[in-house]
Amino acid sequence: MTSQLITPLIDDAETFRACIFDQAGTAWVEQEAVPTGHAPSGGFIWFDITDPSAEQLGLLQHRFKLHPLAVEDALHAHQRSKAESYPGFEFVVVHSVSRSEQGPLGVHELNLFIGETFVISVRHGHGFSTQDILNRWERVPESWRSDPSSLFYVLLDAMVDEYASFTDALEDELKAVRHQLITATHLDEHVVKHIFRLSELAYASHAVAFPLVDVLTTLLRVGPPVVSDNEIPYFRDIRDHAEHAVERLNLVQQMAERAFDIYHALEARSQAAVSKQLTQVATVFLPLTLVTGFFGQNFGYLVNHLIVSPRAFWVFCVGGELLVALITFLYVQRLGRR
């Protein structure tokens, strides 16, 4: 195997790694001897770069005749998900999502160059485990292992699988919030803030995942060396998983909206209960006000003939007020039970 050493451009083996794949297995290339030469017979080379520099991509561009537009897209993040065909290779951009505790949505971009003898993965801030990728690759059919599309399949499969665990966590959290809404004795303001945060995560992750289905559908029509006829079922399976993830994220959005509806319904019910109590109090005091106003007129017959002793005052004034209040209270209670 001929090789060209690129040691001067590599300061950290964790950001620029190379691995040789063939039917016998895999072998990481030492940092001091990372090659850009030809792949071994019956195999291919995987270059994995995290947050690349222009010099690193420039070297690979020169060796593998990568198109400058594709290299420019890979160098600068925030590209849309897409699959583009260039002479000698396919350029694919996909995204995965993650979240930290109480943090915003993290979007991780993966740029892939796939040729007949090489796979180049350019990551921007994404920390997937290379060992996990190798373990997944060991499970692909042995007859497929020498083809770079086998690693391409494994990388895409790992990206799509991340949506499943992400969606599981969102669904579980929303179910817990909805249960909290129903069982809580009083509504807390932080609950609606929590619902809003989950709703924003659901909408943002759906927007990231939705274009992935179109990219995978496009790849099914690309053909060799990216996807041969025998490999179509595997890539179709990834697309089905991506479609399922998009559908679940759409359902999560609806769950968040229903959680908002539950919160508003409970809030309206609480306000209605308070209004009902205030109305009952006002209804009790309304006839009392009328009676008090009547006895407060102080006309001659009332003060000279009816209320002429302390006993009459307690019977007619205070007793009358209490009787009216009792009758009104019982009537209001009867109406409230209907």
What tens digit of pLDDT does each residue of 204-257 get?
A: 899 999 999 999 999 888 877 788 788 889 999 999 999 999 999 999 888 888
* Homologous superfamily assigned to 7-266: CorA soluble domain-like (3.30.460.20)
The answer on pLDDT for 327 being more than 50 is yes
Taking residues 11-19, what's their average pLDDT?
Answer: 66
Helix or strand (DSSP H, E) at 93: strand 89-99
Residues 148/45, Cβ–Cβ less than 8 Å: no
Q: How far apart are CA 155 and CA 134, in angstroms?
A: 10
Question: What is the model's pLDDT at position 93?
Answer: 93
Chain-centroid distance of CA 181 in Å reads: 21
Chain mean position to CA 30: 38
For position 295, what pLDDT does the model report? Answer: 65
pLDDT at 236: 92
In this prediction, residues 121-129 reach a mean pLDDT of 78
The whole-chain average pLDDT of the chain stands at 80
CA distance 45 to 56: 16
Query: So what's the pLDDT on residue 42?
Result: 73
Q: Which range among 40-49, 155-164, 174-183 has the greatest average pLDDT?
A: 155-164
Low-confidence winner among 50-59, 97-106, 112-121, 159-168 (lowest mean pLDDT): 97-106
Region class of 65: left (phi > 0), else alpha (psi between -120 and 50), else beta: left
Structure token digits, residue 285: 């005091």
Per-residue pLDDT band for 274 (boundaries 50, 70, 90) equals: confident
Q: CATH 3.30.460.20 spans which residues of the chain?
A: 7-266
Cβ neighbours, 10 Å, residue 114: 24
Cα-Cα-Cα-Cα dihedral sign, residues 181, 184, 186, 190? negative
Q: Which of 77-86, 144-153, 157-166, 327-336 has the lowest mean pLDDT?
A: 327-336
Give the integer Cα–Cα distance in Å for 40 and 97.
35
Judged against a pLDDT cut of 70, whether residue 97 lies above it is answered with yes
What per-residue confidence (pLDDT) applies to 333?
72
